[in-house]
Amino acid sequence: MRYYKHVFEKWAAMLTTKTNLRAFLADLFRIAVETAHPASFLPKLLPPPPPGKLILLAAGKAAGSMAEVAEGFYLKQLGLSPERLCGIAVARHGYGRPLRVITMVEAGHPVPDAAGLAAASRALELADSGGPNDLVLVLMSGGATANWIAPADGISFEDKQSVTRALLRSGANIGEINTVRKHLSRIKGGRLARHAHPAKLMTVAISDVPGDNPSAIGSGPTVPDPTTLADARAIVTKYKLELPAAITTALNDPKNESPKPGDPAFAGTSYALAARPADSIRAAAAAVTAAGYECIMLGDQLEGEARVVAEEHARLARDLRAQGKRAVILSGGELTVTIKGKGRGGPNQEYALALSLALAGLEAVAAVAADTDGTDGGAGDATDPAGAYCDGQTADRAKALGLDPAAFLADNNSTGFFEALGDLVAPGPTFTNVNDFRAIVVDRP
């Protein structure tokens, strides 16, 4: 693991003199991100070249960095002839990397755009070109669902965009969102495997989902799909979504059922899970212990409404303070926001805003909540913040500036709130994605 002894020594010196807790939290976040970068793990997982072509297909927020590492491994380390390597990598705008042979595309996220539509079409063409002596190597990461957009027959690109926007605003969790999208696609939910057959197919994935379920990562384009059309329809009903007529028709068409276990397309395929949220949380936990704190692990699979979870975590922090403990509360997973206001922000920033209210007045307590991919909600720009810092004095500092934290929370305007305070976490693209990272440090006043 790439965390350095001198960093731990620096923390020990800092924290014994009660210096800035925010610097400690920033280091924890950096450790979580670095642990999940493809350069740390991908080369040892890559298969040897096949007798024929190596067709590399990458999608998601880490697609550029995964393709960059893989391309260097095959061309430089193994000396593979460039003529035997082809492929395409598609990541969200701002997450591209310089590639020599593989085509790099930047596309929309979370709402898909025309670049993602063209990239998915090209990926399907390349998969279709594979023969028995070829290998289709699929490098998956969170964000692939939006980056690979291939609407099912009868559905327009605009229909798919409309569905995505409705789902994102509904409060549905990521699993529910992807269940619907898998049944409206020609590439998701195992369908890419059908295109790759009869070539050999291997998938290497970075997980950003609770439980690391392969069928949920990037909507599982290369694995059997356990969800059904009936599941998708139930989600539409649950959230009272108003959808285009073509979408309703598609969700009632048996032809749009996804391939299940036992489908011949999955014979001989393989799947490797590379980086996981749990790996990053454990790396941060090791740093917490090295700094002399008790580590309170809440797990890497937390879900729920961001502001509700924040209140629960604040109660735990107050309990730890009452017990006189020096501790750090760590958690991962993906929270949700039910949008009722007109502001800007994502679940990490909303969590931090709600937490700042619940921790108001508590000394020597600070927190960070940020997405390891470098962006949290927002309009899909690579410069969107990843999250925010807060502490027991955040609410008072805001009020001194004439800002009402509760009003910002009611308007879902967490970005505006933390921007005014200078408390946004804005690392830019991290070129990986193992979901959200949250840490609350409780020191002694």
The domains located in the chain, with CATH, are 5-37+278-442 (3.40.1480.10), 38-150+185-224+259-273 (3.40.50.10180)
Q: What is the pLDDT of residues 296-354, one digit of tens each?
A: 999 999 999 999 999 999 999 999 999 999 999 999 998 999 889 999 999 999 999 99
**Residue 230: partners with Cβ closer than 8 Å, 6 or more residues away:** none
**Is residue 28's pLDDT more than 90?**
yes
Query: Checking phi first, is residue 147 left (phi over 0); if not, alpha (psi -120 to 50) or beta?
Result: alpha
Q: What is the pLDDT of residue 380?
A: 67
CA distances, 287 to each of 30, 126, 426 (Å): 11, 43, 22
Q: Residue 399 carries which side chain, given as an amino acid letter?
A: K
Q: What is the pLDDT of residue 92?
A: 94
pLDDT surpassing 50 at residue 6: no
Q: What residue ranges in 247-287 does DSSP mark as E strands? A: 270-273
Distance CA 161, CA 157 (A): 6
**Per-residue confidence at 268, pLDDT binned at 50, 70, 90?**
confident
Locate 390 and state its tokens.
């807060």
pLDDT tops 90 at residue 232: yes
pLDDT > 80? residue 388: yes
Q: How does pLDDT run across 104-163, given as a tens digit for each residue?
A: 999 998 888 999 999 999 999 999 999 999 999 999 999 999 899 999 999 999 998 899
Q: Does residue 268 or residue 288 have the better pLDDT? A: 288
Least confident residue range of 70-74, 110-114, 270-274? 110-114
- The amino acid sitting at 309 is V
